[in-house]
Each structure stands twice: as structure tokens, then as C-alpha cells.
Amino acid sequence: MTGKRQEKSRAMRERLVEAAWARIARSGLHGLTAREIAADASCAVGSIYTVFEDLDELAIHANLKSLELLGGALVSASAGTSGTEALRSLALAYARFAVEHRLLWDALFDLRLAQPTPPEFVEANSGLLGLIGRALREIPVVAPPDDLAARSRTYFAAVHGIVFISLQGRFVGHPPDNLASEVDAFVALLARGLESEAVER
Amino acid sequence: MTGKRQEKSRAMRERLVEAAWARIARSGLHGLTAREIAADASCAVGSIYTVFEDLDELAIHANLKSLELLGGALVSASAGTSGTEALRSLALAYARFAVEHRLLWDALFDLRLAQPTPPEFVEANSGLLGLIGRALREIPVVAPPDDLAARSRTYFAAVHGIVFISLQGRFVGHPPDNLASEVDAFVALLARGLESEAVER
DNA sequence: AAGAAAAATGAACGCTGTTCAAAAAAGGGG
DNA sequence: CCCCTTTTTTGAACAGCGTTCATTTTTCTT
């Protein structure tokens, strides 16, 4: 039998990521402790550090798992739609994901990294922004030479902020129940603004 | 001499908040350790817990200090402006504050509380949203019976998200240098949308 | 089957927030 | 002004954290 070493270490890697992800989903990023993860993954605490640089790197990989889940939700939500309708579907699906997987979603943004963001993460994010870009391209005003990527990021950021502040619950105003309609109205407003831009040109 | 006890404890309270605030400004919320704060404020670690419930409560009061600073910046930025111009000034001032006091601003949103947000904090936030409300009221479409507070929060949240994602730097797109123009363009788009709403009515 | 190489282990280290018996300071009465 | 009571301040001690590394166990090669 050859390559037994690689295989075992990769299996442990996966177990660790799975355990970390499950624990974030249950207790949030704060509930991520080396000893508990190790217990969940049936290995020693020290083993974590033979496979990952530190707990942050493990958390990043757990977040990548969440990002994949989010990506799936966005893709299926926007399937068969286009233009402003696609924008609305994407925004609503994003809000729904945040509500339904609250702790996983929180962890995506709570994690502050000492080191620069790893390329896998940037790529995953770009993929999701690409969905917005596709929708924007179908709206006349937003086309080359406009920077589609920049606009996508801005509009995503705006919706993200609305979801974030709403779920944070530190401000008076909409309770989270109304989040969907809040987001919907906002995207509609955005679309109006874009149409108005188109008319003027 | 009477009331020497109260006075001393209040003085220590202020020293602690000041020390915590300064340390957040220098090293972020992560750099907030009980022992270092105590050293800065010239008292024992245990004293912190005679005055505050825990470190979180101390951090809240440090954040209140930051919120006052932000409030001042927003008030002076929007002074003498109205309507959409006021909205632009407010958004730009908000972005500038985030950049110039990055760690203080991060701490405002990094702090996740186990307990419900204390009323002082909610009040301070409401005060700042009121500035947006004043500006919105001067835009015809946004008037009673619209819920001004709800709209204020939504638009603030959108701008906040843009600043947040931009400074986070985890996405491709605008570098933070362009944050001001990104925010400016976005507020302009928002204003267009609002005007378009007005026309339709 | 034996020796060499690699990987997994978990006790130990230095740090954290928080507590609480002891010490210090402040107020009141003779 | 001094003594006694009450209140406040103190910092060593505690439990738990992420991380390390000498030791043990497992895997590979000969």
C-alpha cells in the first residue's frame, strides 16, 4: 500500500474542516476551540497544527465551505432570471441565506485575518460577484466601458450592509422579519436609479 | 470632605474608558487586554470589575466615545447643506471617518454583545440616523406617511456596507483610495432613484 | 524483520478574562 | 484626633485559551 500517509492526512484535514464548519454553524466563530474541534475530528490538538498554520487558516477553510453553500443558493435563485429581476432574486437569496445560516454568515465577516486574504477566498468571492455582473450586463446603462466588476461589488456591498445592519439589531427600525421587503424595496430603488441613468444618456 | 468615594470611582471609570478607547485606536479591539488597560489607567485589574460588569461593557463605553466623535464629524459635514447634498456630505464624512479612524470604526461593529444593546448605544445611533432623516425629509418623495426612520436606516446601512466591503479588502475591485468616489456615485444613484419615485407619484 | 523516516500525540507554556480573600482607604462618633 | 465600621481597591489564584515540541506511534524502505 502506497501513499497511505498522504491519504490519512488529507482525511484528517477534511474531518477538521467539517468539524470546524459544524461547530461554527452551531456556536459561531467564538465557539471554535482547538480542543473541541480536535475531539470532534478524533485527533489530538497538536494535529491541527500539522495540517493548518493556525486556527485562522482552519476557519478560512470552513468559511470556504459556507461560501460554496451560499454560491449554490445564489445560483439556483437567479436561474432563469435576468436583468433587474435577477438582481432582486440574488439580493433576496442573499438575505435569506444570512437569516437561515446566521452563524455561518456572521463568521464570513467576523473573521479578521492578520495575513492577506488567501487567493482561494478571493476567487470564491469573485465568482459570486460574477453572478451580479451577469445581471447588470443585461441592464442597458451598465455596460462597457463601465467597470462591471466595480459596480457589482458596490451593489453587493450595499445589500450586504442592509442585511448586516438589520440582523445586527442595534438600531431601531425594521425588525428582521421585514428584511425581505426592505431589501426588495431597496433593489427596486437601485433599479430605478439605473434606469434614470439610462434615460439621461 | 464628602463624596470622595463617588468622585474617585467616577474618575477611575473615566480613566478606564479613556485608556480602553486609546488602546482600541492604537491596536484595535483585539488589543484590548484587562491587564494593559489597568496599567494605562493606573489601577489593578480587579478594579475594572468593580466599575464595569466585564470588558465588553468597557468596550461599549469606549465605542460610545467613538460614536460621539463620529457624530461631531457628521454634524459639521452636513452643516449648511440640505436634501441630496446633505446625503452626499453625510455619506462622504462617514467614509472619511472610517478611513481616518479605522480601528475605532472597526470596533464599533466588531463588538458582538452577548446581552441586548444598552439603551445609551441605541440612542446614540438614533441620533446619527436622525441626521439622515432630516436630509431625507427635504426630498419630496420621502415624506410622511413614509417611515423616515426606516428609510434612514436602510440608506445608512447601504453606505455602511460599501465602506465596510471596501475597507475589508477581501474583494477585488475598487481600492480604498477610490472609496470616496465610489460612495459619491452610489449616493447620486440613490438620489436618482428617489427622484424617479417622486416623478411617478 | 529491522532500521530509518515521517507523522500524531498530549503535557506544558504563556497568555487571556474573571474572581475573591485580604489589604487599604474613607466615613462617622466620642 | 483617634478608633471602629463600612466601603472600595487590590493582585494572586483559577480555569480556559491557542500554540509548541520532545516523545511515542505509525508508515515506508531495504
What pLDDT digit, counting tens, does each position of B79-123 carry?
999 999 999 999 999 999 999 999 999 999 999 887 888 899 999
> H-helix or E-strand containing B78?
helix B55-78
What are the tens digits of pLDDT across the range B16-60?
A: 999 999 999 999 999 999 999 999 999 999 999 999 999 999 999
What is the model's pLDDT at position B85?
97
Please identify every stretch of chain A with a pLDDT value under 70, giving residue numbers as ranges. Answer: 1-4, 142-145, 199-201
Smallest CA-to-CA distance from B32 within B12, B59, B64 is with: B59
Between CA B1 and C1' D5 the distance (Å) reads 18
- Residues sharing a CB contact under 8 Å with residue A95, sequence separation 6 or more, in sequence order: A159, A162, A163, A179, A180, A183
Give the residue numbers in A contacting B (CB under 8 Å), as ranges: 30, 106, 109-110, 112, 117, 121-122, 125-126, 129, 149-150, 152-154, 156-162, 164-166, 168-174, 182, 185-186, 189-197
CB A156 within 8 A of CB A132: yes
What are the tens digits of pLDDT across the range B86-98?
A: 999 999 999 999 9
Average pLDDT of chain B to the nearest whole number? 93
What is the model's pLDDT at position B50?
97
What is the model's pLDDT at position B4?
74
What is the model's pLDDT at position B2?
58
Give B93 to chain A, closest Cα distance, Å. 17
What's the CA gap between A86 and B74, in Å, rounded? 35
What's the CA gap between A16 and A21, in Å, rounded? 8
What's the CA gap between A115 and B56, in Å, rounded? 26
What are the tens digits of pLDDT across the range A145-183?
A: 678 999 999 999 999 999 999 999 888 777 778 999 999
What is the model's pLDDT at position B171?
82
Between CA B8 and C1' C22 the distance (Å) reads 21
What is the model's pLDDT at position B114?
79
What is the model's pLDDT at position A169?
86
pTM score = 0.95
Helix, strand, coil % in chain A, rounded to nearest 5: 80, 0, 20
**Phi, psi at residue B146, to the nearest 5°?**
-60, 150
What are the tens digits of pLDDT across the range B149-185?
A: 999 999 999 999 999 999 998 887 777 789 999 999 9
> Across residues B139-153, what is the average pLDDT?
81
